Structure 1
Amino acid sequence: MEVSRLPLAPSQKAKLISAGYTIMSFHLFCLNSSYHCTDLNISDTEALEILKLASQSCRVDRLDGSHAIVNGAQTAWDMLHEEEFITRITTSSADLDNILGGGICCKEVTEIGGVPGIGKTQLGIQLAVNVQIPADRGGLEGKAIYIDTEGSFMVERASQIAEACIEDVLKNYVFQRKEYQACQDEMQPKTFLANIFYFRICSYTEQIALINYLDTFIAQHKDVGIAVHAMFVKVVILDSVTFHFRQDFDDLALRTRVLSGMALKLMKLAKKFSLAVVLLNQVTTKFVEGSFQLTLALGDSWSHSCTNRVILYWNGNERYAYIDKSPSLRSASTPYSVTVKGIRDAASHCKRIRMM
């Protein structure tokens, strides 16, 4: 049984996972509470409570057999049919949407990495705004969760991008006069900002605790009742997934296990709620064939934790995006711009090259 499914407080789950306990096993129960006090930095009473709840949950699993069989099998034909209805979030750059197959895909985890100043946070804010475009205007009419680990989110910038998004929607669709006025009244920057749930994370334990809590949070924060269309969370943006794990972890093997558990949780969220998970990543240097090269942080094992990987890089004075990994998209690159209005197509088109 996964630790994330135990009836514990998010902070207790985070302490267990950060200590390497991602799945309940005999190893957890064979150690006394005093060991867990030291290992998890908790009181003896709290350790006894964790062991008791874990033991009860695992015993119930064994008695009723509810977790002995993997449910949810479906045919490949059903999967193909479902893919026809998968939705995507536009990036506001037609060229970038084109190489992404129409935009950032829901039900998948997409990693976007690059050097400082390349526009990762700008793209994250753009997606948090664009996911709210009304369904009858080509959008998903959803909400966004923005998890900020670096303090780089700027609400003024989000408002600026929202204003530009509204301007584009009103400009690109043909309205009757009454419809235009109704849409203009409905689409206001303050409405867009109210649909972005912002979390400021200051440690890797907070990051783990929040990701464990997202399942409950997403289920609770949806509009129901008199609304014609319920608004669900349709994108989770983590900016960045890297920061605290590069600062606070010395045990690389433990870091790998913790990150793998976190990635698995995010993949399940994407599938369960049909939402897009976007992980922004930093870069580091890697020694390859006698020279140092730039590569995305967290090592080779982390590269398997996402469905799609997009690398942002400079080509001269122009920004480029490159599809580095995807099971459904071909490798391709395209220029893009970061403007006052947000992410847009590049003003000029250079020869497209691959950085890595």
Structure 2
Amino acid sequence: MPEVLLEDLDHVGPATAQKLMESGFTTVEAIAVSSPAELATAADIGESTAAKIIMAARQSADIGGFETGDMVMERRKLVGKLSTGCIEFNEMMGGGIDTQAITELYGEFGSGKTQVAHQLAVNVQLPPEQGGLDGSVIIIDTENTFRPERIKQMVDGLSEKYGVEYDHEEFLKNIRVARAFNSNHQILLVDSALELANELKNSEKPVRLLIVDSLTAHFRAEYIGRGTLADRQQKLNKHLHGLQRFGDLNNASVIVTNQVMSKPDAFFGDPTKPIGGHIVGHTATFRLYLRKSKGDKRIVRLVDSPNLPDGEAIISVTTPGLRDP
């Protein structure tokens, strides 16, 4: 199917197309899944015109109509599985971390959330026969936790595991990291990530993984007190929908890490619960709760999934990376 240019859409002239491109709406698909208010602000046009443009984009991109269950099943075959490097963890996730989905990792500090994210940033670059997606990675780092030295250790660990000489420099070249300084910057970086993914779409290593570590740190620090809760949740919701759109448009896995808070009034069960409330709970496709165990062992619990039963897996966080205990 020939690619449809923005100028080919009804009601889009060269000037409007230019404004849309500058605001991150570089493809017809991106316009098709946006809201009229979003588009109107980006291109400085009326909402009724924006709605017509979205309608035209949906028709040409073939998005927004009903389809039968078998067609959905066919499309689900395109969903890739990214290996975690641990047999038990992969089995619990039905073969690995899904593309076109948001997977949330939450747990206390030191529970291994960032370690899992680093390992996936390495694994995604491997060929499919080794559990990878043959792609590159974008990391939005909000807490200054990305460590290239850790990537080097994990790549050396892979060389040992598969008996292949991997070059850590090559792996680091396929990881793009941006530091987010506040929640607004964090939301804008998703638009930049969409542009970058679009540029790399036809390269040898298209973007197949987006990591946000951590999703809620800035929101938690900036919105203090109950009075700001509605604003915070609204912004967080917009951010998560931007991430889901990224995953859908690029057939990429989206990994977000989340902090926890303690519920001192909980007399039974685990007193820790993730930040972000129902907004994060409903939008994340898979929720994984990580907690410390003896030594280097961590317990990963699948708390929520649309198609998999709840389960637990034990992993070891070692110098060469994530391993089966």
Distance of 2:139 and 2:42 partners within structure 1: 35
Distance of 2:251 and 2:53 partners within structure 1: 32
Counterpart amino acid of 2:49? Answer: R
Structure 1 segments, 4+ long, off by >6 Å, are none
Q: Which residue of 2 aligns with 1:59?
A: 49
Counterpart amino acid of 2:160? Answer: E
Distance of 1:85 and 1:117 partners within structure 2: 35
Counterpart amino acid of 1:279? Answer: V
Q: Which residue of 2 aligns with 1:209?
A: 188
Counterpart amino acid of 1:242? Answer: T
SS of aligned partner of 1:162: helix
Q: Which residue of 1 aligns with 2:216?
A: 242
Distance of 1:294 and 1:129 partners within structure 2: 30
Aligned residues of 1:321 and 1:336 also touching (Cα < 8 A): yes
Counterpart amino acid of 2:221? Answer: Q
Q: Equivalent of 2:272, from 285, 294, 301? A: 294
SS of aligned partner of 2:20: coil
Shift of 1:221: 2.1
Residues 155 and 52 of structure 1: CA distance in aligned 2, closer, same or farther (over 3 Å): closer
Distance of 1:262 and 1:336 partners within structure 2: 30
Distance of 2:252 and 2:242 partners within structure 1: 13
Greater Rg over alpha carbons, structure: 1
What aligned pairs does 1:264-279 form with structure 2 within 5 A after superposition? 264-279=241-256
Distance of 1:111 and 1:143 partners within structure 2: 20
Distance of 1:321 and 1:52 partners within structure 2: 41
What aligned pairs does 1:247-262 form with structure 2 within 5 A after superposition? 247-250=221-224, 251-262=228-239
Counterpart amino acid of 1:93? Answer: C
Residues 245 and 340 of structure 1: CA distance in aligned 2, closer, same or farther (over 3 Å): same
Counterpart amino acid of 2:118? Answer: I
Are 2:132 and 1:154 equivalent residues in the alignment? no
Counterpart amino acid of 2:246? Answer: L
SS of aligned partner of 2:106: strand
Distance of 1:54 and 1:223 partners within structure 2: 31
Residues 245 and 51 of structure 1: CA distance in aligned 2, closer, same or farther (over 3 Å): closer
Counterpart amino acid of 1:190? Answer: E
Shift of 1:90: 1.1
Distance of 1:287 and 1:109 partners within structure 2: 29
Residues 315 and 75 of structure 1: CA distance in aligned 2, closer, same or farther (over 3 Å): same
Aligned residues of 1:309 and 1:325 also touching (Cα < 8 A): yes
Distance of 2:55 and 2:264 partners within structure 1: 49
TM-score, structure 2 length as denominator?
Answer: 0.80
Residues 168 and 222 of structure 1: CA distance in aligned 2, closer, same or farther (over 3 Å): farther
Counterpart amino acid of 1:54? Answer: D
SS of aligned partner of 2:153: helix
What aligned pairs does 1:132-211 form with structure 2 within 5 A after superposition? 132-170=125-163, 184=165, 187-211=166-190
Counterpart amino acid of 1:314? Answer: K
Distance of 2:256 and 2:54 partners within structure 1: 37
SS of aligned partner of 1:55: coil
SS of aligned partner of 2:287: strand
Residue by residue over 1:63-120, the C-alpha shift from the partner in whole angstroms, topping out at 9 and shown as x without a partner, is 8952687635432102223334422111111111111111111111100111100111
Residues 71 and 82 of structure 1: CA distance in aligned 2, closer, same or farther (over 3 Å): closer
Shift of 1:267: 1.1
Shift of 1:329: 1.2
Counterpart amino acid of 2:210? Answer: V
Distance of 1:236 and 1:95 partners within structure 2: 23
How many residue pairs were aligned? 290
SS of aligned partner of 1:7: helix
Residues 56 and 314 of structure 1: CA distance in aligned 2, closer, same or farther (over 3 Å): same
Shift of 1:223: 5.1
What aligned pairs does 1:340-351 form with structure 2 within 5 A after superposition? 340-346=319-325
Shift of 1:212: 2.2
Q: Which residue of 1 aligns with 2:92?
A: 99
Residues 169 and 208 of structure 1: CA distance in aligned 2, closer, same or farther (over 3 Å): same
Counterpart amino acid of 2:76? Answer: E
* Identity value in percent: 27
Which deviates the most, 60-69 or 134-143? 60-69
Are 2:73 and 1:80 equivalent residues in the alignment? yes
TM-score, structure 1 length as denominator?
Answer: 0.74
Distance of 2:104 and 2:36 partners within structure 1: 29
Q: Structure 1: any 5+ residue segments left out of the alignment?
A: 1-5, 12-21, 29-49, 171-182, 225-229, 347-356
Are 2:285 and 1:311 equivalent residues in the alignment? no
Shift of 1:213: 2.4
Are 2:20 and 1:7 equivalent residues in the alignment? yes
Q: Which residue of 2 aligns with 1:326?
A: 305
Counterpart amino acid of 2:96? Answer: G
Aligned residues of 2:211 and 2:254 also touching (Cα < 8 A): yes
Q: Structure 2: any 5+ residue segments left out of the alignment?
A: 1-18, 25-33
Counterpart amino acid of 2:123? Answer: N
Q: Which residue of 2 aligns with 1:36?
A: none
